[in-house]
Amino acid sequence: GENVEQHPSTLSVQEGDSAVIKCTYSDSASNYFPWYKQELGKRPQLIIDIRSNVGEKKDQRIAVTLNKTAKHFSLHITETQPEDSAVYFCAASRAGGFKTIFGAGTRLFVKA
Amino acid sequence: DTEVTQTPKHLVMGMTNKKSLKCEQHMGHRAMYWYKQKAKKPPELMFVYSYEKLSINESVPSRFSPECPNSSLLNLHLHALQPEDSALYLCASSQVLRPPGELFFGEGSRLTVL
């Protein structure tokens, strides 16, 4: 069935360092890959997304890369700041499907 | 208005009670969702409504009963819940349906079942 694996489950970095979170999906028909950030006690919010016809997308300090052949996609955060501390979820959905399949989440700690 | 509004924010109920969670959006989205989120876990899909019709029920127990009275409102009726149903219940909507595209989540209703 559809599955998204996410690593690592916890990531601790120093302020100013980069953070990388990796995900693997199982459904080769997946064509939309969003990333959500959920701060403590808050709602998940989309921070960046990528579609299967694009290999990389960047928005200021965050970027996402997609390798369709390997079914991998990754989130890169540069120059991390304490306010980047949150849980990050990768997700995938397939063409024609109703569902968004979430990864297990990565808890990111940015130490000042 | 780019918000999804959920009420109540907190709810405590006994196992014999009947209560309802409410969700409202005014973005013109025709797809609405109920998710359940346990602590330190990802959101887990429960129901999908598209154009006010139930499209997906992820084998959710009948003690949870969804309702979509119109394109802006989504309810979740609760009856005879179990303590393990205690969780954060998130409503979401999306402009694009298949696949869902960006999900706009509400702040959630935190449910405690005693």
- Tens-binned pLDDT, residue by residue, of chain A (112 aa): 689 999 999 999 999 999 999 999 999 999 999 999 999 999 999 999 999 888 999 999 999 999 999 999 999 999 999 999 999 999 999 988 889 999 999 999 999 9
Q: How many cross-chain Cβ pairs, A to B, lie less than 8 Å apart?
A: 61
Residue B106's Cβ-count burial label (10 Å; 0-12, 13-18, 19+) is buried
pLDDT category of residue B99 using cuts at 50, 70 and 90: confident
Q: Could you give the percent of chain B with pLDDT greater than 90?
A: 86
pLDDT at B102: 93
Answer yes or no: do B108 and A43 touch at CB < 8 A.
Answer: yes
Kindly state whether B108 is in contact with chain A, defined as any CB-CB distance less than 8 angstroms. Answer: yes
Show the tokens assigned to B6: 């959920």
Q: Has residue B66 got a pLDDT over 90? A: yes
pLDDT at B1: 63
Residues A103/A90, Cβ–Cβ less than 8 Å: yes
More confident residue, B2 or B10: B10
Q: What is the SS3 assignment for B52?
A: coil
Answer yes or no: do A102 and B100 touch at CB < 8 A.
Answer: no
List chain B residues with CB under 8 Å of A87: 40
Residue A14's Cβ-count burial label (10 Å; 0-12, 13-18, 19+) is exposed
List chain B residues with CB under 8 Å of A104: 41-42
Q: Return the sign of the alpha-carbon dihedral for residues B17, B41, B65, B3.
A: positive
pLDDT digit string, tens, across residues B84-98: 999 999 999 998 878
Residue from A58, A70, A2 nearest A30 by CA: A2
Closest chain A C-alpha to B44 CA, distance in angstroms = 8
Per DSSP, what are the bridge partners of residue A19?
A77
What single DSSP character describes residue A103? Answer: P
Answer yes or no: do B90 and A44 touch at CB < 8 A.
Answer: yes
